[in-house]
Structure 1
Amino acid sequence: MHAVRLHAFGPADNLTYERTDAPVPGPGQVRIAVAAAGVHLVDTTLRSGDPNGPYALPPLPAVPGREVAGTVDALGEGTDPRWLGRRVVAHLGAAVPGGGYAELAVTDADRLHEIPEGLHDDQAIAMIGTGRTALGILGFTDLTPDDVVIVTAAAGGVGSLLVQYARNAGATVIGLAGGPDKVRHVSALGADIALDYNKSDWVEKARTALWGKDATVVFDGVGGTAARSAVSLLGRGGLHLVFGWSAQGITGGGPLELPPGWLAERGITSRGVLGPAMLERFGGGQVGLRRLEEESLARAAAGAVVPAVQRFPLAEAAEAHRALETRGTVGKVVLIP
């Protein structure tokens, strides 16, 4: 089979498309003929060899990737035979290497979800990881038509779903993105106000459009100066919910640090919502994550949200990484074998 392998940590060009041995499922496992594989920003951190990332670096050579969708083509010993031939999607877990950037991938059967009728493989990929994250973030709020929501990375995989969920709740949505193409995409998603956070006047435009009304929630996936400006629009009692800082590495980027005294004076709550915070809120461990995965897939299948997907051929995984690192993508990045 073909797979994308990493032989040495470093730039995206270190990802090579090559032939390798097909994996064999063990007891309780299945093998999936991969139709789509998810790419995550954390994959670029692992590839670069950054020791300060959220996961331990993998032993090399490694096949990256933690999300796959496709058809079960082989079973391990003791695996329920009813899985054979089914269209499935699975998050392969936090263990590295994941093995998803390949034509064939192996995972435990208890990680599988059957793909709902009418949902494409790449859409299922968007919902199994990114989708569950978006739902988990929403769980820290109870949005109503009285809310004014700012989404700072509104053209990204998570952000594009948050825009749609907030609109479904009747909230007024300000979607922020970098560049005119992304701003047009955010507007098409249904944001009431779509603005380019690279423009110096976006805060003034937002205030004018809101007719003096304060924001109540900031969903922050960017960090840095854009996030600081978004928080300045929050009124008393507002929420600043952090799910990333994609502006890391650029001028004014990185996680937004807000002094506790400043927050207390304005009655604003700022908190990170990923990792342990989300696990604790949704029952902990794989059980809670699986519940979010099931609900996320069901909502997409019902048409409540439409995940945005940007596709790259599997052989061009390096290009997909470069596009992610330069913030040149829209929606969830997916590799197609």
Structure 2
Amino acid sequence: MHAIRLHTFGPAENLTYEPTADPTPAPGQVRIAVAAAGVHLLDTVLRKGERGPLPELPALPTIPGREVAGVVESLGDGVAGLWLGKRVVAHLGFAPGGYAELAVVDVDRVHEIPANLDFAQAVAMIGTGRTAMGIVQFTDLTPDSLAIIPAAAGGLGTLLVQYVKQAGATVIGLAGGPEKVALVQANGADVALDYTASEWPAKVRAWLGDRRATVVFDGVGGDIAREATDLLREDGRHLVFGWSSGEPYATATRSEQTLGPAMMQKAGGPSPIRTLELRALTAAAEGRLSPAVDRFPLPKAAAAHHALETRRTTGKVVLEP
């Protein structure tokens, strides 16, 4: 098979498209002919040699990527034959290997893809979608809610805008540049503004009048998060799930970390991650959420990383072999 391999930590150019041995499914695993592989911001962190939230860096050389969708084409011992030929999607967990034509994964991580979703949409929901489902657990949205969503044109922001509007609430979506702002508006935001323009907070205040926001969904941090939280009412909530700006921002009384153990505890059940994945896939299958996808050919993984790191993507970044 061909895959993207990383031999040395460093810049995106270190990602190389090359032939490598086919993986063999171990007992309890399936092998997937990959049709779509998700690219996550964490992948860019690991590529640089920083482990982020993971317990350790992958051993080199490695095939990055932890989200795949495709068709099951081989079974390990003990796996029911009914899986052969199924359209499936899976999050690989801590094990990399997604940026490839073939990938192996434990069968208990696999979901059959609903008939009305394509492979790229399924990949978007198994990773970004499950995160969105985890974040929204932390607020009870009503028609009186008013949400500010920075990075509203990204894969996660797109889904959060849709979810908040489904609840009948009001959305102020922020994005970088006029093209992204137009996408946020088309996605249903009541107000869409360019956060690279210094006057955006004043425009929000003018639009709000005497009102204030009830919640900020924040994956950006830095000055944007500070300015957004300044627009919250006294009992407003600042839900933090990242800091793509590179600068975390939180207040002592309003900010809540929504990732990690807190998210899993909220989801509950014997497998909280699987619970969130099923919620996400079901929401997409039922048409309540529609992921935005930014597609790149698998050999162009370095270009995909560059685009993601420089905020030139719209939606979930997906590699297609």
The alignment's TM-score, normalised by the length of structure 2, stands at 0.98
For 1:126-275, list aligned pairs within 5 A. Answer: 126-248=124-246, 254-258=247-251, 260=252, 263=253, 269-275=254-260
Opposite residue 167 of structure 1, the aligned amino acid is: K
Q: CA deviation at 1:243?
A: 0.8
Contact persistence 1:173–1:193 (CA under 8 A): yes
Describe the superposition over 1:84-124 as per-residue Cα deviations: whole angstroms up to 9, x where unpaired.
Answer: 000000000123xx100000000000011000011010000
Q: Does 1:327 align with 2:320?
A: no
Change (3 A) 1:111 1:3: same
Question: RMSD of the alignment, in Å?
Answer: 1.1
Q: Does 1:116 align with 2:114?
A: yes
Q: CA deviation at 1:52?
A: 5.0
Cα distance in 2 for residues equivalent to 1:177 and 1:201: 13
User: Which residue of the partner structure matches residue 266 of structure 1?
Assistant: none
Cα distance in 2 for residues equivalent to 1:319 and 1:54: 24
Moved beyond 4 Å, runs of 4+: none
Cα distance in 2 for residues equivalent to 1:221 and 1:172: 19
The alignment's TM-score, normalised by the length of structure 1, stands at 0.93
Cα distance in 1 for residues equivalent to 2:90 and 2:119: 11
Q: CA deviation at 1:236?
A: 1.4
Secondary structure of the residue that 2:138 maps to in structure 1?
Answer: coil
Cα distance in 1 for residues equivalent to 2:227 and 2:146: 15
User: Which residue of the partner structure matches residue 318 of structure 1?
Assistant: 302
Secondary structure of the residue that 2:278 maps to in structure 1?
Answer: helix
- Percent identity over the alignment? 63
Cα distance in 1 for residues equivalent to 2:80 and 2:205: 57
Cα distance in 2 for residues equivalent to 1:123 and 1:306: 8
Opposite residue 284 of structure 2, the aligned amino acid is: A
Cα distance in 1 for residues equivalent to 2:217 and 2:63: 32
User: Which residue of the partner structure matches residue 2 of structure 1?
Assistant: 2
Cα distance in 1 for residues equivalent to 2:56 and 2:13: 21
Describe the superposition over 1:245-294 as per-residue Cα deviations: whole angstroms up to 9, x where unpaired.
Answer: 1111xxxxx10143x3xx3xxxxx2111001111121127x701101111
Describe the superposition over 1:288-333 as per-residue Cα deviations: whole angstroms up to 9, x where unpaired.
Answer: 1101111110110111011000000000001101111111111100
For 1:8-47, list aligned pairs within 5 A. Answer: 8-47=8-47
Change (3 A) 1:239 1:257: closer
User: Which residue of the partner structure matches residue 281 of structure 1?
Assistant: 266
Contact persistence 1:46–1:53 (CA under 8 A): no
Matched length: 321
Q: CA deviation at 1:51?
A: 4.6
Cα distance in 1 for residues equivalent to 2:262 and 2:53: 18
Secondary structure of the residue that 2:33 maps to in structure 1?
Answer: strand
Contact persistence 1:215–1:235 (CA under 8 A): yes
Gaps of 5+ in 1: 249-253, 264-268
Q: CA deviation at 1:157?
A: 1.0
Cα distance in 2 for residues equivalent to 1:34 and 1:165: 29
Contact persistence 2:32–2:69 (CA under 8 A): yes
Contact persistence 1:152–1:220 (CA under 8 A): yes
Contact persistence 2:46–2:52 (CA under 8 A): no
Secondary structure of the residue that 2:89 maps to in structure 1?
Answer: strand
Contact persistence 2:54–2:94 (CA under 8 A): no
Opposite residue 36 of structure 1, the aligned amino acid is: A
Moved more, 271-280 or 27-36: 271-280
Q: Does 1:294 align with 2:298?
A: no
Cα distance in 2 for residues equivalent to 1:180 and 1:245: 22
Contact persistence 2:42–2:52 (CA under 8 A): no
Secondary structure of the residue that 1:204 maps to in structure 2?
Answer: helix
Secondary structure of the residue that 2:77 maps to in structure 1?
Answer: coil
Cα distance in 1 for residues equivalent to 2:22 and 2:312: 33
Cα distance in 2 for residues equivalent to 1:8 and 1:53: 20
